[in-house]
């Protein structure tokens, strides 16, 4: 694995530390009047999303993790495995929903996503900012209920449950923000 100096850190860079795989969220080079320089970092665990802060000596060597981004199409679910096909090599990859993290709630058959791979392990999923999903179940809106901003729960085709306005019905397509998991708007059928 390539070593990288703490002086060459960049936001978004991924490091393979003894504690696990971390991406650099923020870093500060500090040069005190006395003593050697050091680098304060804020690092995000690629697997859990937990953020830690670490301080390193200036020019300390860390192991850089090379993340391979592959465009893949979600083909189907086989038992508890999600099956993807690499758009370049046509190789297939199976992963449990836990391998996709929160992204599992936003992908449906036929969707193309970018999987961030470290070796054979999925460490992240790049999703579009919003996706369109079909409402598979929700209570009907009550006629005459015009309370401004009133919401009701709805379950989408991927199993994701969220709050939607009263006028949204089963079978409607809705646009969902993949960062917050919130309803954005009703989508064209």
Residue 117 has pLDDT above 70, yes or no: yes
32-75 per-position pLDDT tens digit: 888 888 999 999 988 778 899 999 998 899 999 988 999 999 99
Domain residue spans of the chain: 3-63, 68-126, 130-187
Domain 130-187 top-level CATH class: mainly beta
Residue where the block lists tokens 């992204």: 103
- pLDDT given at position 97: 87
**Is-same-fold flag (3-63; 68-126)?**
no
What's domain 3-63's architecture?
Answer: Roll (2.30)
- Sorted by sequence, the CB contacts under 8 Å of residue 47 that are 6+ apart come out as 20, 21, 123
Determine the pLDDT at residue 146. 61
Tens-digit pLDDT profile for residues 86-114: 999 999 999 998 888 888 899 999 999 99
**Whole-number Å distance between alpha carbons of 19 and 33:** 31
From the number of C-beta atoms within 10 Å of its C-beta (0-12, 13-18, 19+), residue 89 rates as exposed
CATH of domain 68-126: 2.40.50.140
- Sort strands 112-118 and 121-126 into parallel, antiparallel or unpaired: antiparallel
């Amino acid at each position: 694995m390539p070593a990288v100096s703490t002086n060459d850190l960049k936001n978004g860079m991924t490091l393979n530390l003894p504690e696990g795989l971390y991406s650099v969220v923020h870093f500060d080079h500090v040069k005190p009047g006395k003593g050697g320089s050091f680098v304060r970092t804020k690092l995000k665990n690629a697997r859990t999303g937990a953020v830690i802060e670490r301080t390193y000596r200036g020019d300390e060597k860390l192991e850089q993790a090379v993340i391979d981004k592959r465009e893949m199409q979600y083909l189907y679910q086989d038992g508890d495995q999600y099956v993807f096909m690499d758009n370049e090599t046509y190789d297939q990859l199976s992963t449990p929903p836990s391998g996709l993290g929160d992204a599992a709630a936003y992908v449906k058959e036929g969707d193309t996503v970018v999987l961030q791979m470290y070796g054979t392990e999925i460490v992240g999923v790049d999703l579009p900012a919003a996706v369109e999903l079909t409402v598979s179940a929700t209570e009907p809106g009550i006629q005459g209920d015009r309370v401004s901003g009133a919401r009701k729960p709805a379950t989408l085709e991927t199993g994701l449950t969220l709050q939607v306005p009263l006028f949204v019905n089963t079978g409607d397509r809705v646009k969902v923000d993949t960062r917050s998991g919130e309803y954005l708007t009703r989508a064209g059928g």
